[in-house]
Structure 1
Amino acid sequence: MPTNERSGELAVVTGASGGIGEQIAAGLARTGATVVLVARDRTRLDLARDRIRRAVPGADLETEAVDLSNLAGVGALADRLGERAPSVVVSNAAVIAPLDDRTPDGMHRSLVTNHLAPYLLLRRLAERPTDAPRRFVVVGASPTGLARTPVDLDDLDPRSGRGLGWPPSFRPFVAYARTKNMNAMFVYALASRLAGTATTVNGAHPGIIRGDLGRDTRGALKAFGALCGVLAADTVTGADTPVWLATSREAEGVTGEFFVKRRAVRTAPHTTDPERVERLWRESARLVGLPAEHVPSPGPHPTGS
């Protein structure tokens, strides 16, 4: 049975129809929170909800079938959730899409799903006035593994193919890696804008986890994914740090950090450079149709480091 620790609170998890996202949702459900599972496929969402209810009897679960590569749908989701003031939002959804896989807005599906969707969702929620503590967690990737794939700020939506390497079948993974560096940069940018409020923002690397991020991959990338699958940890292990950041007393008040195995770590200098971080923020705002300026919501300063 769920505990009553967070009874009455609302938590949101994107990419919750399987894998790490499902396990994060289950972990939050165990605290007694009402958990909204967000993913594209309604059938898979319903199956995940049923699995969580079997694992966590009495879990209070809701589903939102939203395609996070559709910015209009993400904006509508932000409106619906904003009315309910969630206290926890875990942005977990991510894909590795072929470079020619474009959204209705004409942008690369990995860019939209992995970066622009959390940018739009969390920013819109953050700008909702509240005095209540909130925790935003963005699931990223290995800071060590990403150190050699800096974001190309002149080619966010990878059309030129510049710097994506060889062989061509591996390029979607490099584009994906860039979006994961965008996740860290977004964490730092949003946390700095929310300094002095009751909302904290942190990133987390779940480890190399079995999943279907690369279900559309082929060639060398497909072989690489198969090898990673042999070495990967289970999804319960991957969910540990995001759930800890979202619920633990140790993480209360901590903001603007990136965590691996519950420990704050440094990410690559190209992700922390203030000019680069600000430029990504402004370009992301342009792509989602928001002003570059951010209006932080009121609230007391977080207690903690």
Structure 2
Amino acid sequence: MRVVVTGATGGIGERISRRLAESGHSVIMVGRSAERIDRARGRIAEAVPGADLAGEVSDLSLTAEVRALAERLEPLPDVVINNAAVIAPLDAVTGEGRQLMLATNHLAPYVLLRILAQRLGDRPARFVIVGAHPGGLRRTPVDLDDLEFRNRRTLGPVPSFRPFVAYGRTKNMNAMFGYALAARLADTMITVNGGHPGIVDQTGLGRNCIGLLRLFTTMINPFAQSLDEGSDTPFWLATAPEPAGQTGRYYLRRQAVPTAPHTTDPARLYRLWDESAALVGLPADVS
């Protein structure tokens, strides 16, 4: 089986890649630089002699690079695991002028999976979108009038904590996109599911945090799961027979769980889909 993993050069993404290699799958590791990919491949190859590993360089914050990645992947993958995500300052923007977290965490999988779904056609595939805990996400509904977090006051009273709230919104976008894409691909052999890996140390996700948010991430690290525990649900969704044929679901510890009503409301799903399409220059109609 050929599996694409984004954010594969460290943390959960690297551990998912290693587990896939241990199971005999071909892994395409997507990262921001060839150097980071080579280092991660070297670590996995040392632990898994003979591992079938390839690398694809793509800055997932840039729609043009994501589109190019989706269009050049060949042979087409059997599984895509969207794992890449960042917590970044609210004023961080990409070279294309988009807010960095929105671009990396939401628009990248939106573009990648839409183009790959079109290329796959009637072939079977699994799309896995790594999300966050559905309980915590209930409190951070997406503001469909402010996808790029320009109204800072709605993100809470503590400035250093606002990027974490914005990150939570992007994770809700992931869930909403997964549901919307699954519905649009219901007549195909492609399944789309989301899953929460748990709070995991050593991901590098909070490397840009400051103030109270840095203190918060430091305090929760002793309670974090191991990388093996964190990689379990995404790996299971990608490879296990049990979720085969299941689509439009969200999983926690291998169990399908509900997410907040604001992530499943059809009107909100349609609007986020259409707004995202406009931001990246794709037609809203997938036909």
TM-score bracket, normalised by the shorter chain, equals over 0.9
Residue 115 of structure 2 is aligned to residue 143 of structure 1:
no
Which has the higher mean CA deviation after the structures are superposed, 119-128 or 46-55? Answer: 46-55
* Amino acid in structure 2 at the alignment position of 1:187: G
Alignment-derived partner of residue 282 in structure 1: 274
Alpha-carbon distance between aligned partners in 1 of 2:57 and 2:40, rounded to the nearest angstrom: 12
* Structure-to-structure mapping, 1:189-208, within 5 angstroms: 189-208=180-199
Count of equivalent residues: 286
Answering whether residue 217 of structure 2 is matched by residue 225 of structure 1, we say yes
Q: Select which of 235, 240, 243 maps to 1:243.
A: 235
Shift of 1:41: 3.0
Moved more, 92-101 or 156-165: 156-165
Letter in 2 for 1:244: W
Across the aligned residues of Structure 1 and Structure 2, the Cα RMSD in angstroms comes to 1.0
- Greater shift, 285-294 or 31-40, is seen at 31-40
The structure 1 residue matched to 2:22, chosen from 6, 25, 30, is: 30
Q: Distance in 2 between matches of 1:246 and 1:16?
A: 15
Deviation at 1:244, TM superposition (A): 0.4
User: Could you say which residue in structure 2 is the equivalent of 1:114?
Assistant: 105
**CA apart distance, 1:44:** 2.0
Quick one: distance in 1 between partners of 2:104 and 2:58?
A: 11
Would the aligned equivalents of 2:196 and 2:251 in 1 still touch at CA under 8 Å?
yes
Provide the identity percentage.
60
- Structural mapping, 1:89-238, within 5 Å: 89-210=80-201, 211-238=203-230
CA apart distance, 1:130: 3.5
Runs of 4+ in 1 over 6 A off after TM superposition: none
AA of the residue aligned to 2:257: V
SS of aligned partner of 1:110: helix
8 A contact 2:78–2:126 mirrored in 1 = yes
- SS of aligned partner of 1:89: strand
Query: What is the identity, as a one-letter code, of the residue corresponding to 2:173?
Result: M
CA distance in 1, matches of 2:142, 2:205: 20
Q: How far 1:223 moved relative to its partner?
A: 0.4
Q: Contact (CA 8 Å) 2:121, 2:188: kept in 1 or not?
A: no
Structure 1 gap ranges (5+): 1-8, 296-305
Candidates 48, 53, 67, aligned match of 1:61: 53
Pairwise CA distance, 1:281: 0.5
User: Residues 263-302 of structure 1 correspond to what in structure 2 (within 5 A)?
Assistant: 263-295=255-287
Of stretches 12-21 and 27-36 in structure 1, the one that deviates more from structure 2 is: 27-36
Pairwise CA distance, 1:132? 2.7
TM-score relative to the length of structure 1: 0.92
In structure 2, C-alpha distance between the alignment counterparts of 1:87 and 1:129, rounded to whole Å: 9
CA distance in structure 2 between the partners assigned to 1:129 and 1:216 by the alignment: 37
Deviates more, 1:144-153 or 1:24-33: 24-33
* Cα drift, residue 129 of structure 1: 4.0
How far did residue 48 of structure 1 move?
Answer: 0.9
How many angstroms apart in 2 are the aligned matches of 1:249 and 1:144? 27
What is the aligned partner in structure 1 of residue 69 from structure 2? 77
Query: Which residue is 2:12 aligned to?
Result: 20
Amino acid at match of 1:175: A
Cα deviation, 1:138-179, whole Å, max 9, x if unaligned, reads 000000011000000000011121410021011011110000
2:152 aligns to what SS in structure 1? coil
Q: Which structure 2 segments of 5+ residues have no match?
A: none
Query: Any idea what the Cα deviations from partners look like across 1:98-117, whole Å, max 9, x if unmatched?
Result: 01100112111010000000
Larger helix percent: 2
Query: Take 2:63 and 2:220, find their aligned partners in 1: how far apart are those partners?
Result: 31
| Cα distance in structure 2, aligned partners of 1:293 and 1:199 | 17
Question: SS at 1:24's partner residue?
Answer: helix
The residue type equivalent to 2:254 in the other structure is R
